[in-house]
């Protein structure tokens, strides 16, 4: 309680805005001014008037705000990275493009689309090839627009999101490095994944349906297609929250996404769609104590964990983000 009071005092005194992703611990959510999914947070936080922004989430999210609003000083209570975003770097991106070219797909015929869960260097490379970013909230819209260019889509880094989108839109797809005959497909997906959403299985869906007749199942599109196929609803974190909240209190629902978010929905008759506790390890790193620590570092001008993006990379990454924001 004392820590929370001190946080509220300091953020007011120093004109600091605190942004938190839905997967953060409850104690961090209680201290936040802006709460949302990755699309909402990149919009709201970059438009926020305060000079200082503390981002409670993972690195690519804080980096996206710095990319869109470079004059802002963006700090994180802890340097926490999304493991999926770490699965592709500049070198592996370049190798993937070489692989497409070796299979007879010239670079000019490729439209790269990167999930926002990627590092600025990937967003920059994607922009240079005419591509853009998407988030789970707007991915279908972005892919449909991208298809209008009449090119092959190279989607990264989340394989499951890519496969789920392709199925929904009705286009052919293959995974680079897994499927031999990828050159003829409409969309080629990179072989990355989310370790948290991999925990949900089709057997979990069957288990809940058997045990609770009439139950509804909502999942995040980072889940395996075999899980998504069995769900009643698939959506981004904010879309899942809205969907659950619109249901009557007595409706039984099982949700396949990160534990902290689902746990806050338990005022409804809501279950976590897993026999494990699907916590995002890095999202859970940030505590109120860390938050107070970073606020104190603004007060004493030591600025711990400040996010910087190299200028050329930032400019290009911004192009990829802006293209998404224009469409979304």
The pair of structure tokens assigned to 256 is 């396949």
Contact of 303 with 53, CB cutoff 8 Å: no
Q: Give, as ranges, the residues between 201 and 220 that touch ligand 13P (CB under 6 A).
A: 220
Asked if the peptide bond before residue 157 counts as cis, ω within 30 degrees of 0, the response is yes
State the residue number with the nearest CB to ligand SF4: 82
- Residue 166's nearest CA partner among 140, 145, 141, 146 is 140
Q: Check binding of 285 to ligand 13P (CB under 6 A).
A: no
Minimal distance in Å, beta carbon 110 to ligand SF4? 24
User: Which of 16/54 has CB closer to ligand SF4?
Assistant: 54
Question: Helix or strand or coil: residue 106?
Answer: coil
Q: How far apart are CA 108 and CA 110, in angstroms?
A: 6
**Distance (Å, whole) CA 191 – CA 154:** 11
The one of ligand SF4, ligand 13P, none whose footprint includes residue 136, by CB under 5 to 8 A per kind, is ligand 13P
Per CB under 6 A, 118 contacts ligand 13P: no
* Residues 223-282 within binding reach of ligand SF4 (CB under 6 A): 258, 280
Residues 101-130 that bind ligand SF4 (CB under 6 A): 117
Please provide the distance, in angstroms rounded to a whole number, between the alpha carbons at the two ends of the chain: 39
Regarding 324 and contact with ligand SF4 (CB under 6 A), the answer is no
Q: Which residue has the tokens 């490379």?
A: 125
Give yes or no for residue 38 binding ligand 13P (CB under 6 A): yes
* Residue 203 interacts with, from ligand SF4, ligand 13P, none (CB under 5-8 Å by kind): none
Q: Are 283 and 38 in contact (CB under 8 A)?
A: no
Q: Which positions touch ligand SF4 (CB under 6 A)? A: 58, 82-84, 117, 194-196, 222, 258, 280, 283
Q: Which positions touch ligand 13P (CB under 6 A)? A: 37-39, 82, 117, 135-137, 194, 220, 222, 236-237
């Amino acid at each position: 309680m004392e820590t929370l009071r001190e946080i509220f005092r300091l953020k007011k005194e120093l004109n600091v805005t605190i942004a938190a992703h839905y997967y953060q611990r409850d104690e961090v959510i209680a201290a936040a001014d802006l709460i949302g999914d990755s699309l909402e947070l990149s919009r709201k936080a970059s438009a926020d008037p305060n000079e200082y922004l503390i981002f409670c989430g993972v690195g690519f999210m804080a980096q996206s705000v710095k990319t869109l609003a470079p004059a802002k000083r963006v700090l994180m209570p802890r340097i926490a990275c999304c493991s999926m975003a770490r699965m592709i770097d500049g070198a592996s991106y370049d190798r993937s493009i070489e692989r497409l070219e070796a299979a007879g797909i010239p670079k000019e015929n490729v439209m790269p689309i990167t999930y926002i869960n990627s590092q600025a260097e990937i967003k920059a490379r994607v922009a240079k090839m005419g591509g853009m970013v998407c988030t789970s909230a707007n991915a279908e819209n972005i892919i449909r627009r991208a298809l209008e260019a009449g090119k092959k889509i190279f989607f990264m880094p989340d394989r499951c999101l890519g496969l789920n989108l392709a199925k929904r839109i009705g286009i052919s797809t293959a995974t680079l490095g897994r499927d031999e005959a990828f050159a003829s497909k409409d969309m080629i997906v990179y072989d990355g994944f989310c370790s948290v959403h991999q925990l949900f299985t089709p057997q979990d869906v069957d288990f809940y349906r058997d045990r609770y007749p009439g139950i509804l199942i909502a999942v995040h599109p980072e889940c395996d297609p075999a899980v998504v196929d069995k769900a009643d609803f698939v959506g981004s974190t904010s879309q899942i929250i809205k969907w659950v909240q619109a249901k009557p209190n007595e409706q039984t629902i099982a949700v396949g996404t990160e534990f902290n978010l689902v746990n806050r929905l338990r005022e409804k008759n809501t279950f976590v769609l897993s026999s494990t506790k699907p916590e995002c390890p890095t999202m859970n790193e940030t505590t109120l104590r860390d938050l107070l620590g970073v606020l104190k570092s603004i007060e004493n001008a030591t600025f711990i964990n400040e996010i910087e993006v190299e200028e050329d990379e930032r400019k290009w990454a911004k192009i990829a983000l802006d293209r998404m924001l224009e469409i979304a």
